[in-house]
Amino acid sequence: MSFLAKNALKKIGFLSYGEDVLISDKASIYNPQKIKIGSHVRIDDFCILSAGEGGIILGDYIHIACYVSLIGKETIQIDDFVGLSSKSAIYSSNDDYSGHYLTGPTVPEKFRNVTHGKVHLKKHVIIGSGTIILPNVTIGEGTAVGALSLVSKNVEEFKIVVGNPFHILRERNRNLKDLESQLMKEPYV
C-alpha cells in the first residue's frame, strides 16, 4: 500500500488534519474542504470519503480499512480510537425504498424522499466487516458491532451487538479505557 506524501496530503485541501496521517493514494476524497482529520489516522486503499454539507470529522487513532465508505449530506463524526473494518459503510443520507418516491441522485429532489441525519461513532467503537450504518444513529462509547450487521438505530455504550436487525450479545469489557490512559502517558512512537 502506498500512502500519500506530506506535500500531496497538503494539496488535497482538507479543512484540517493532524500529525501521522496516512491516506492511501488509492482512496477517493470528495469535498475535502469539509473534512477534518485528527492525528494518527490511517485510511486504506479504495476507501471513499464523500463529505456533504455537514462534513466528516475524524478524531485521533482511527483506522479506516480498505473499501470503507463514508457518504451523505449530514455530519459523520468518528471519535478517537475507532476502527472501521473493510467493506463497512456509513450513510448520513438514505433514499426511501417504499416505492412511493423515486430514488437516486439523478432524480430531482421533489420526486425523492431522502432521510438525512447525523451519524456519530463515539470513542473506542469497532465496526465489523460489511456492516452498514444508516442516518440518525449514534453508537455509544466502547461498543463493538459484529460483521455484516445493519445499524439503523442508536446503540448503547459498551455493548457487543450483531445481526440484522442487530441484537445485544453481551457487555464489552471496559479495560480499553485503562489502556487508553496508559497510551496517553507515553510518547508516541
Q: Is 139 within the bounds of a domain?
A: yes
Identify whether 79 is part of a domain.
yes
Does pLDDT of 188 surpass 90?
no
Q: How confident is the model at residue 189 (pLDDT cuts 50, 70, 90)?
A: low
Q: Tell me which residue range forms the domain holding 47.
A: 6-185
Give the number of domains in the chain.
1
Per-residue cell: 186: 507515553
Backbone angles phi, psi at 91, to 5 degrees: -120, 125
What does the pLDDT look like over 101-143, one tens digit per residue?
999 999 999 999 999 999 999 999 999 999 999 999 999 999 9
- Report the share of the chain in percent with pLDDT over 70: 99
Q: What is the pLDDT of residue 143?
A: 98
Residue 82's pLDDT is what?
A: 98
CATH number at residue 150: 2.160.10.10
What is the value of pTM for the model shown?
0.96
Residue 20 resides in a domain: yes
Q: pLDDT for 29-44, tens place per residue?
A: 999 999 999 999 999 9
| Residues facing 93 on adjacent strands | 116
In a domain, 85, yes or no: yes
User: Which is it for strands 21-23 and 62-64: parallel, antiparallel or unpaired?
Assistant: unpaired
Task: List CB contacts of 173: < 8 A, sequence separation 6 or more.
Answer: none
